[in-house]
């Protein structure tokens, strides 16, 4: 059994498939839409209409990049306000068109630069959360790697959350938590145990609905198999959600969001 800190390290493995890999395999005909219609384009968020298993969908994904140059240009998947506004714009477009929404979450968090704060980072995150929360179309969030704080939450407000076996979702990174509690970052492993951020922990806390199996050793060992496992889980989940009456599904989504924080997990 891996420790929680080992799971965090696996989720950050440099050869782990990124959302861009999932997009290529699961949504090969994606028509990427750009811009937030307010400030500009953010390459840390990729999205647009696509087809999945014969069904038209709207997909929105963090984009960390693969090569060092691409990672720098995409800021390792850390969106600025225009990225979050683009995500919200695509969720509202999906609502108007009646398209189910799929998000792929993998980010260290929202971009922390002064320019992002000056352009309303917190408001943009809140707006994205509202767009996904109120979307009348089915929404499925897939955590495929690192789910970092508000940068991940902005795209994980959904009817169902799927999470890869060695992914994690946490309000603050173990390193940052360590720097606050212990005044240095050397106790990240201890902080990870306290935070309980892994997908398995979150299933037990009823914050994640389904654990998607990874190949032994992690998704980077056999990316194709990991992607196909997510395909199967996502197809089954979308079939179930699309079959539900809209009013009933929205009521369940509201109840789900209201249940967050309820005591459901004993250490």
Residue 167's pLDDT band (boundaries 50, 70, 90)? very high
**What percent of the chain has a predicted confidence (pLDDT) above 90?**
90
Q: Look at residue 267 and tell me whether its pLDDT is greater than 50.
A: no
Q: Report pTM.
A: 0.94
Range with top average pLDDT, 35-39, 56-60, 185-189: 56-60
Q: What six digits make up the tokens of 11?
A: 């989720």
Per-residue model confidence (pLDDT) at position 260: 84
Q: How far apart are CA 192 and CA 194, in angstroms?
A: 5
Residues 210-229 pLDDT 10s: 999 999 999 999 999 999 99
The more confidently predicted of residues 258 and 132 is 132
pLDDT one-digit tens code per residue, 75-95: 999 999 999 999 999 999 999
**pLDDT at residue 185, rounded to an integer:** 83
Give me the pLDDT at residue 263, please.
65
Nearest CA to 230 out of 243, 217, 212 is that of 212
Model pLDDT for residues 237-254, shown as the tens digit of each residue: 999 999 999 999 999 999
Please state, in angstroms and rounded to a whole number, the distance separating the CA atoms of residues 240 and 219: 26
Would you list the domain boundaries of the chain? 4-257
What the block records as the tokens of 59 is 């997909």
Residues of the chain above pLDDT 70, percent:
98
DSSP annotation of 42: -
Q: Is the pLDDT of residue 266 over 80?
A: no
**What is the C-alpha end-to-end distance of the chain, expressed in Å?**
16
Query: Average model confidence (pLDDT) for the chain?
Result: 94
> Per 3-state DSSP, what percentage of the chain is helix, strand, and coil (rounded to 5)?
45, 15, 35
CA distance 121 to 118: 7
Name the residue among 167, 179, 150, 184 with its Cα closest to residue 13: 167
Q: Check residue 84 and give its pLDDT.
A: 97
Task: Round to whole Å and give the CA distance between 155 and 241.
Answer: 18
Task: Tell me the CATH number for domain 4-257.
Answer: 3.90.226.10
């Amino acid at each position: 059994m891996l420790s929680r800190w080992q799971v965090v390290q696996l989720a950050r493995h440099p050869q782990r498939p990124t959302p861009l890999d999932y997009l290529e395999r699961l949504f090969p005909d994606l028509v990427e839409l750009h811009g937030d219609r307010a400030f500009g384009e953010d390459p840390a968020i990729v999205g647009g209409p696509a087809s999945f298993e014969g069904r038209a969908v709207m997909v929105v994904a963090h984009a960390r990049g693969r090569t060092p140059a691409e990672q720098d240009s995409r800021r390792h998947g850390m969106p600025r306000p225009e990225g979050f506004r683009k995500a919200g714009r695509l969720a509202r477009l999906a609502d108007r068109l009646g398209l189910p929404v799929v998000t792929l979450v993998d980010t260290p968090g929202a971009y922390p630069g002064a320019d992002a704060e000056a352009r309303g980072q917190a408001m943009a995150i809140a707006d994205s959360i509202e767009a996904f929360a109120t979307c009348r179309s089915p929404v499925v969030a897939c955590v495929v790697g690192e789910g970092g704080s508000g940068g991940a939450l902005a795209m994980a407000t959904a009817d169902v959350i799927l999470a890869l076996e060695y992914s994690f979702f946490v309000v603050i990174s173990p390193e940052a938590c360590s720097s606050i509690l212990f005044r240095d970052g050397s106790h990240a492993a201890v902080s990870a145990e306290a935070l309980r951020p892994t997908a398995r922990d979150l299933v037990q806390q009823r914050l994640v609905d389904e654990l998607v199996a990874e190949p032994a050793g992690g998704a980077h060992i056999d990316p194709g198999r990991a992607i196909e496992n997510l395909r199967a889980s996502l197809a089954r989940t979308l079939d179930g959600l699309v079959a539900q009456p809209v009013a009933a599904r929205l009521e369940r989504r509201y109840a789900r969001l209201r249940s967050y924080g309820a005591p459901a997990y004993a250490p």
